[in-house]
Every structure is written in structure tokens, then in C-alpha cells.
A and B are shown apart, each in its own frame.
Chain A
């Protein structure tokens, strides 16, 4: 086996590290636009899905979103849009964010114009447990929110309650929780009540 001097070893590893770092930086810079376009498209798909559009056609989601939705200013500085739903009715989209069990969770809530009834939601998460907390991003859970009421009889904001055990599907202010994921479900509840309170009058 050949002998290598210490100087050679240091130079060798140093050189290798430099070359690799350089190549990676180049690739990172080169791919950045594509990556950012992906993020933008994913956001558009989520909003469209919440509003009830068929999101299978992902390629021009950004263009479609531009056509049906326009950003809406609000005092809270929260990301909001006015959107035209596929059934022709007008709606409001609100970006909601909060904390799950392991990391951030976020999503979009689509409501009717008076912000009193939910038309649809989409949730996303960074790192909830697969099969449990991660189920908040499944259509099966998201569909449970459709038609729920956000205001009480006097028109005041009444946050949704995410209830464990189910059997409340006819309760207009309660949603069945994800089984086995109590903390994530509570996270969703807090996320909705905090974020929506900011934009409700």
C-alpha cells in the first residue's frame, strides 16, 4: 500500500471539499428558479383545491389562480384572496398557520363572502407522524370541514371545536378529530381560531 504524507492528506481532503462545495453552490443557484416556481405552484394548487377546483391540472394552476382570485388587503396583514368558486359563487380565502405536534402546520380556508360558512380547507404539515398527525392533510379529514359554521346566531365569531370521538357530524361548530393524533388536532383547532380571529370582525 502506498504511503501518503500528512500534507498530501490535508491538501487532498481540502481540495475535494472545495470542489464539491463549488459544484453544489452552482447547482443550488442554477435550480433555484425552478424550486421557487414549484413552491408557488403548490400554493396555487392548494388554494384551488380548497375552493373546490379540480386540482389535477397542476401545470397551469398559477395562471388559473390569477384568473379567479385576487389578493385582498386586510388590517391583520394576513394573506387573503377574493376568489370565484367553480359553482359561480364568490368566496374569501384566508391563509392560516400554527403549530402541530412536531413542527409547523398551515393551510388555506375558503369561506363564503360573509365569512360565516366554510366551503373547503386544505392543510399541510412539515413533519407530523405518518399515519396519524399527517392525516390532517388527507382529503378525508379536510372534507369534514365543509359546511361548518363560523359565526353564532348573533353573527359573532365562534371558533370551531375539534372533538374527539366523532358522532358530531351534524354539529355545525364541531369537527371530528383525527384519531390517535390529539395534539395535532388541537393544533389545527388553535390554528383556525387564532388565525381566523385576526380577520373576523
Chain B
């Protein structure tokens, strides 16, 4: 149990997707003009991460990693399909995002209106694929671990984009040197926020 809490805290603060690995920066910079939309995208990313990472975990464990096909009988033991990892992961992500879009549309219209516009964007968000790839590198022992990791990374991303959007809203009133306005200052602020997040290293 302690271990799960540990993974969660670490993936939110220390190994934060945005600040430590720069994942999902494109949409992070593009969709952070105001807090509300940023929150919407953040929730969508968090949601998709928590669905795709455990699914990809199972696929990796029972299909892709060396010797993973042992359950299918003797012929599967020597097989190593790990070179298909990237293609299968991205296909799974694209499929799940499509599926989610349809399901949400059927179940809850308000939720669809809130998240709907972001979902197609997410299939090509680096944070989602990156999450799955890091999950694979880290060899989590059970699905539960990968689930907690997904939740933590998603929450970390949400935290980052909402905080950033809030700063950007305030920024409108500050006096920034002209050449720096727009993207320039956005990069620098992200960098400074990253430095701030580094103070969590000790925990």
C-alpha cells in the first residue's frame, strides 16, 4: 500500500510529466490561455491516461515483452514481439480515444461537451504515448501499480497546465519586453515553474 502512495506522489511531483520530461508540451503551450479550458484538457488527459496505461500494461505483459506469450503454449515462449511495441501502443491509444469519444457521447452529453473537443487532440499528445512507454520501462509488478502511476501522472499534468494557465492569465497585465511576448515568456515561465518543482526532490 505504502508503495502505491509512493508511486503516486512521485509521479505527481518529482517525475512530473511536464517539468521533468517535457511531455505533452505542444498542447500544454497551445491550450493554456485561460484556466477553464486548461482544466478541461487536463481532465481529459488524466482520464485517457488512466484508461490507456493499464490496458497497454496488460498488452505488454501478455503479448509483447520477451517470453510474454508463454501462456499461449510452447510456441510462444521463444517469441519476442517487443519491436511492435510502439505501433501497438499508438494503435491502442488511437482506438481507445475513439471509443471513449463514442461512449461519452452516448452516456453524458454535458461531459461530452466539456471533453469532446479535446479528445481528438489527445490521440497525438506526447504525454499519453510517453506515459505508456515509461510504464513499460519501469516494469511495474501489477496492474494496480500501473493504474496508480497513470493516475499520478495525469494529476501531475493537470496540476501543471492549470497552474500555468493561471499564471498566464495574470501575465496579461504585466509589462513584458516586446520580443519576449507570447511564446518566449511562456517557455521561460515553464522553466521557472520546473525549477520550483525541483524542490520536491527531497521527499
Contacts and interface: CB of A to CB of B under 8 A. Distances in A.
Q: Are A and B genuine complex partners?
A: yes
B43 to A, nearest CB: 26
A: interface residue count bin: 10 to 19
B107 interface: no
Contact of B137 (A20, A21, A27, A126): A126
Nearest to B134: A127
Contacts of B138: 102-103, 126-127
A101 B149 CA distance: 13
Interface of A is mostly: loop
A130 B21 CA distance: 9
Contacts of B14: 129
Interface in B86-138: 87, 134, 137-138
Nearest to A20: B87
Contacts of A25: 83
A24 interface: yes
A21 B201 CA distance: 42
Given A126-B137, A129-B14, A21 B20 contact: no
Nearest to A104: B139
Nearest to A27: B83
B137 A103 contact: yes
B10 interface: yes
Nearest to A181: B201
Nearest to B202: A180
B84 interface: yes
Contact of A129 (B20, B83, B84, B87): B20
Given A102-B138, A127-B134, 13 more contacts: A21-B84, A24-B83, A24-B87, A27-B83, A103-B137, A103-B139, A104-B139, A126-B137, A126-B139, A127-B138, A129-B14, A129-B20, A180-B201
